[in-house]
Amino acid sequence: MAVVLFGASVATAVVTEAGAVTPTTPLKFKLERGTVSPKQAVPGSVKSQRIIFRFRASRATPVAIRVIKLGSGRTVRRFAPRKIRPGRWHRVNFNGLDRKGRLVGTGKYQVRVGPVGGPLQKLSRLRLHGHRFPVVGPHGSRGAVGMFGAGRNGGRTHEGLDITADCGRPLVAVRSGRILEAASDPALKGNYVVMKGRSERRTYLYAHLKRPSNVREGQRVRAGHRLGSVGQTGNAAGTPCHLHFEVRSRGRLLNPEPLVSSWVW
């Protein structure tokens, strides 16, 4: 058995019973085109990242696809090689999970593709984030009155951040996780949802939803799962439509503002 490398191409050889070496055609593998779409995502999202590519080669061959962390060079995910044909588009879905189904960490990654046993070639970069923004589409702020810690009547303070958006705009899970509560509180929160993020100690409260949420307590959700719509229920009647968003870490309130501003990407 002899494996000879010609640059990026791999040539294999067959040893006959008589001991003569008969080279097979060189594979001449060349990655032609391809990409990852979308390039940025949260691991465990409703929509996977699609890896698409096309290659040239002298014949069908088993192709290896790996997602590699930039910097460390560590492979976080490899796809089982399949014998596939050159000159066609091929597609695999990457959901941001490793081989054991755990969330892959945040950071920059590179997808490499190549023949099994041969050098892998760079296809595209991708980026994974820990969270996504809770409102889909255009959104704004209520100014000082909507900030974390702002005064409220009865000596209360504002325990979340108000994010304005048109009534009816979709609200989505900022990360994959589990629903802790989905209920209604006519006096304050209106229709609301509380979820816990997966592999972290944080919980998220979404309040003033237009209608009661379709999710139920105990349900697992992926990042981007629809939790409801922006509304003005509870004590938000008469205010501009907005999401009241609270973040707790191990039960302690956090200021959501610096967090959510880094979740716009």
- Which residues contact Zn ion (rule: CB under 5 A)? 162, 244
Dig out the tokens for 114 from the structure. Answer: 């190549």
- CA separation for the pair 111, 90 (Å, rounded): 14
CB closer to Zn ion, 53 vs 162:
162
Residue nearest Zn ion, CB atom distance: 244
CB closer to Zn ion, 175 vs 244:
244
- Do 45 and 223 contact (CB within 8 A), yes or no? yes
CB closer to Zn ion, 145 vs 183:
145
Nearest approach in angstroms of CB 246 to Zn ion is: 8
Nearest approach in angstroms of CB 231 to Zn ion is: 13
- CA separation for the pair 161, 145 (Å, rounded): 9
CB closer to Zn ion, 129 vs 244:
244
Nearest approach in angstroms of CB 164 to Zn ion is: 10
Nearest approach in angstroms of CB 169 to Zn ion is: 16
